[in-house]
Amino acid sequence: MKYFFIYPVLIVIFIGCGASDYNDSIGLGYSIHRFNSFEKVIGPDNGALLYSTSSNLGPLNRYTISNNLIIAEHFGAIKEFETDKSSKKYIIIDTKKNTYKGPLSVLPSSYNNLNWKSPLW
């Protein structure tokens, strides 16, 4: 009974772990996966990751779906967990082959007039 005060603290810690995790299905068998405010990426619905944020790839800014492709626009990163909103990086995901190209500093000109969508969060 003397350790009773520890239980509420442990409950808060366990609830806080993973509280920012989020998955939002966007179609074609893919979802936006959020693990914290920096790590927001697109991957298969099963939770597997094709790519992850790094020292030069920041969080997902917006995305678009065209035929069997998903194009993700990410902010750049100055260093790990530090976003550079003046820089953009692009990932092009082929949903049929479950492969991707990128990160690209410039989106190829063949991808113009896209209908961009922002993540819910």
Is residue 72 in some structural domain?
Answer: yes
- Extract the tokens encoding 34: 């959020």
- Global pTM exceeds 0.85: no
Domain that holds residue 86: 6-104
* pLDDT score, position 10: 47
Spatial separation of the C-alpha atoms in residues 82 and 77, rounded to whole Å: 6
Contacts by 102-109 with C-beta closer than 8 Å and gap 24+?
Answer: 102/51, 103/51, 103/56, 103/57, 103/74, 107/71, 107/73
pLDDT digits (tens, 9 = 90+) for 56-107: 889 999 999 988 999 999 999 888 788 899 999 999 999 999 899 999 999 9
> Does 5 score more than 60 pLDDT?
no
Spatial separation of the C-alpha atoms in residues 53 and 112, rounded to whole Å: 25
Is residue 119 in some structural domain?
Answer: no
Is residue 42 in some structural domain?
Answer: yes
Is residue 16 in some structural domain?
Answer: yes
